[in-house]
């Protein structure tokens, strides 16, 4: 709900010309984004793409950080040098915090970066205690999770990254999102195989396909893959069957998608489905869920209002910090309460 409300607020800001650049929605994909990230521990690494607002919210990124970034504020994570969810969080070695690397590319290059992060963490864990930071030995072995679109799984960068992770038995879990389109290219013109998870057969790693709008099913499959990766059994791929319910970005009216397809997927909205499950199993009442809806909506609006009033970057500094070095501080975002317990284990 929070992911959806943050994006709804962004749409309002976009229409007011306060968002700089494009606005990319994850409408219809919030369920898989949240449920996959939920299978991680707080100290793991995530490499979300533009459709993974839910993963960022799950790992505890404060919504204010997202609004700042989308409006290119000088207070934002990339200080107005970059946009949307291109954020980075590199915590100190012993901290009980996630590593977050935003989209370095939509089209596959993030897989080898994710593999590198997990491989680096494995090498650090093998260092003698005297060479490690306080608290580092208490952290569970790091698992990296990267999300990737169906279109991106056709690229060479994706293949190279996956093969490398498989051969090196890297603790990497890749979430391949079949959301039916890559911009206007339908899935049938993207793959000659029936299911996106079958891509992984070529790398010799475990793979499974799951109903991406069933949050509990997504969580179960992903958790299994995360647990085996953490135990040293190597990389895996989860294919999620879902639907991009808006155009590629706000400027795209997706006239190339048949209306019947959109109507069909509307019935399978992940939030509505999970709500039904929670009420049926008496985990929550309709009233409680209405309250959560109202609270998250108000929270998103309040965070947006804070960001609107913050300053743009100082023009005198625009040439600084564009590339590494040059007084570029280690980037961090503010983290708030997340579903993870204080000791970093999942709730
Ligand atoms: C080299 C390059 N070409 C084109 C683009 C523009 N682009 C960004 S995302 C995208 C489509 C990605 O489709 P998919 O992988 O299915 O992800 P989805 O948008 O459906 O989540 C394109 C064409 C780009 N970012 N980089
Ligand atoms: Mg796609």
Q: Any idea what the CATH number is for the domain that residue 37 is in?
A: 3.40.50.970
CA–CA gap between residue 312 and residue 197 (Å, rounded): 43
Query: In terms of residue numbers, what domain contains 146?
Result: 2-309
* pLDDT of 339: 66
Structure tokens at 51: 């459709």
Domain assignment present for 336: no
Contact 191 CB / ligand 1 (< 6 Å): no
Check: CB of residue 55 under 8 Å from CB of residue 147: yes
Domain assignment present for 60: yes
Determine the average pLDDT of the residues in 266-287.
98
* pLDDT of 342: 55
Give the Å distance between the CA of 183 and the centre of ligand 1: 7
Give me the number of domains the chain comprises. Answer: 1
Residue 158, judged by CB atoms within 10 A of its CB (0-12, 13-18, 19+), counts as: buried
Contact 86 CB / ligand 1 (< 6 Å): no
Domain assignment present for 319: no
Domain assignment present for 342: no
Which residues are in the CB-under-5-Å shell of ion ligand 2?
Answer: 149-150, 179, 182
CB-side neighbour CA atoms (13 Å) of 278: 15
Give the model's confidence band at 297: pLDDT under 50 very low, under 70 low, under 90 confident, else very high: very high
Domain assignment present for 338: no
pLDDT of residue 262 exceeding 80, the answer is: yes
Domain assignment present for 109: yes
> Over the stretch 90-107, which tens digit does the pLDDT of each residue have?
999 889 999 999 999 999
* pLDDT of 149: 98
101, 117, 114, 116: which is closest to 146 by C-alpha?
A: 114
* pLDDT of 13: 98
Average pLDDT score, the chain: 94
55, 44, 41, 124: which is closest to 87 by C-alpha?
A: 55
Contact 144 CB / ligand 1 (< 6 Å): no
171, 184, 278, 168: which is closest to 225 by C-alpha?
A: 171
Q: Which ligand is nearest to the CA of 180?
A: 2
Q: Give percent above pLDDT 90 in the chain.
A: 88
pTM higher than the cut 0.75: yes
Give the model's confidence band at 69: pLDDT under 50 very low, under 70 low, under 90 confident, else very high: very high
Between 224-228, 301-305, 329-333, the lowest mean confidence (pLDDT) is in 329-333
Residue 157: C-alpha distances to residues 104, 116, 177 (Å): 12, 14, 16
**What is the per-residue DSSP string for 238-273?**
EEEE----S-SSTT---TTS-HHHHHHHHTT-HHHH
Give the Å distance between the CA of 253 and the centre of ligand 1: 16
Domain assignment present for 330: no
Give the model's confidence band at 337: pLDDT under 50 very low, under 70 low, under 90 confident, else very high: confident
Contact 113 CB / ligand 1 (< 6 Å): no
CA–CA gap between residue 110 and residue 133 (Å, rounded): 27
Domain assignment present for 322: no
57, 69, 68: which is closest to 30 by C-alpha?
A: 57
> Over the stretch 14-43, which tens digit does the pLDDT of each residue have?
999 999 999 999 999 999 999 999 999 999
* pLDDT of 331: 83
Give the Å distance between the CA of 50 and the centre of ligand 1: 10
pLDDT of residue 347 exceeding 50, the answer is: no
Contact 6 CB / ligand 1 (< 6 Å): no
């Amino acid at each position: 709900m929070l992911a959806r409300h943050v994006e709804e607020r962004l749409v309002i800001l976009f229409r007011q010309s306060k968002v700089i650049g494009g606005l990319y929605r994850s409408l219809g994909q919030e369920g898989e984004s949240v449920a996959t990230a939920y299978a991680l521990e707080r100290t793991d690494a995530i490499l979300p793409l533009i459709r993974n607002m839910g993963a960022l919210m799950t790992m505890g990124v404060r919504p204010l950080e997202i609004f700042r970034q989308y409006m290119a504020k000088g207070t934002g994570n990339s200080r107005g040098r970059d946009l949307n969810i291109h954020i980075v969080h590199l915590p100190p070695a012993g901290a009980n915090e996630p590593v977050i690397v935003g989209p370095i590319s939509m089209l596959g290059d993030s897989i080898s970066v994710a593999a590198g992060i997990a491989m680096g963490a494995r090498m650090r864990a093998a260092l003698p205690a005297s060479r490690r930071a306080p608290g580092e030995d208490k952290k569970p072995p790091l698992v990296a999770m990267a999300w990737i679109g169906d279109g991106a799984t056709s690229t060479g960068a994706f293949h190279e990254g996956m093969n490398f992770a498989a051969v090196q038995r890297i603790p990497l879990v890749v979430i391949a999102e079949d959301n039916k389109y890559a911009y206007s290219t339908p899935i049938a013109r993207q793959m000659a195989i029936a299911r996106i998870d079958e891509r992984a057969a070529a790398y010799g790693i475990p793979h499974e396909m799951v109903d991406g709008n069933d949050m509990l099913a997504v969580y179960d499959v992903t958790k299994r893959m995360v647990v085996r990766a953490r135990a040293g059994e190597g990389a895996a791929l989860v294919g999620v069957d879902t639907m991009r319910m808006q155009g590629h970005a706000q400027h795209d009216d997706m006239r190339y998608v048949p209306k019947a397809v959109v109507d069909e997927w509307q019935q399978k909205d992940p939030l509505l489905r999970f709500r039904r499950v929670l009420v049926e199993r008496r985990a929550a009442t309709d009233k409680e869920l209405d309250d959560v809806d109202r609270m998250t909506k108000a929270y998103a609006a309040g965070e947006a209002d804070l960001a609107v009033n913050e300053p743009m970057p100082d023009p005198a500094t625009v040439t600084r910090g564009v590339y590494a070095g040059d007084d570029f501080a280690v980037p961090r975002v503010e983290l708030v309460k997340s579903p993870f317990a204080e000791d970093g284990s999942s709730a």
